[in-house]
């Protein structure tokens, strides 16, 4: 039996060699993706700042929908502010040079944006539902102070939900001296009896 090419039930073939596994180097990834991310970052920064300025310079007091949408714009602005770091990471062929603290911070911002954006959109949907389906009975709960409280809760939940990803972020160095920022979840198993 040839040990370098062995078949296993359920698997096609497994090539057992001493060669290192490497990812194919796709130059298109490293030449197209970083400028694309930078374009998104620049446009996102400019447009989200514009949205926030419109809400802040608005003469009348904000409605509940405006409060939710301004918080959504703030969450998106926070994300696009950190996109240039990720673009540089891709440009350097996924070699992380920013240290462990930035590894954790950038990934926390990405996770917080995901959670907060979803829940701000949920709050907008609930607000629109209440305004259209129950306009008279929902006047008491559709107030700006409840909207602000809801936004504070969403920011806190977004932070708490992103903590496991932050706690388990780590740096590792590969055989070719590249540093990777990756999720390092514990591999321990618990036996329930």
Nearest-CA neighbor of 55 among 46, 42, 45, 68? 68
Check: CB of residue 157 under 8 Å from CB of residue 112: no
Q: How far apart are CA 73 and CA 78, in angstroms?
A: 9
> pLDDT tens string for the chain (193 positions)?
444 444 434 444 445 555 555 555 567 888 899 999 999 999 999 999 999 999 889 878 888 999 999 999 999 999 999 999 999 999 999 999 999 999 999 999 999 999 999 999 999 999 999 888 888 777 778 888 999 999 999 999 999 999 999 999 999 998 889 999 999 888 877 777 6
What pLDDT score was predicted for residue 30? 84
Q: What pLDDT is attached to residue 23?
A: 54
Domains in the chain with CATH codes: 27-183 (1.20.1070.10)
Burial zone of 175 (CB within 10 Å; 0-12 exposed, 13-18 middle, 19+ buried) = exposed
What does the DSSP assignment read for 18-35? SPPP-----HHHHHHHHH
pLDDT at 109: 96
């Amino acid at each position: 039996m040839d040990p370098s090419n062995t078949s296993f039930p359920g698997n096609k073939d497994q090539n057992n060699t001493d060669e290192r596994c490497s990812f194919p180097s796709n130059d298109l990834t490293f030449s197209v993706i970083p400028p694309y991310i930078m374009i998104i970052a620049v446009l996102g920064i400019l447009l989200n700042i514009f949205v926030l300025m419109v809400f802040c310079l608005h003469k009348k007091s904000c409605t509940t929908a405006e409060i939710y949408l301004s918080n959504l714009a703030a969450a998106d602005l926070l994300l696009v502010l950190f996109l240039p770091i990720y673009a540089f990471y891709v440009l350097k062929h996924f070699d992380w040079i920013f240290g462990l603290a930035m590894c954790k911070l950038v990934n926390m911002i990405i996770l917080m944006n995901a959670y907060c954006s979803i829940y701000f959109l949920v709050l907008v949907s609930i607000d629109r539902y209440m305004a259209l389906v129950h306009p008279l009975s929902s006047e008491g709960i559709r107030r700006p102070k409840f909207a602000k409280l809801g936004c504070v809760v969403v920011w806190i939940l977004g932070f708490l939900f992103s903590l496991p990803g932050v706690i388990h972020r780590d740096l590792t160095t590969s055989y070719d001296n590249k540093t990777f920022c990756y999720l390092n979840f514990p591999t321990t198993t618990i036996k329930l009896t």
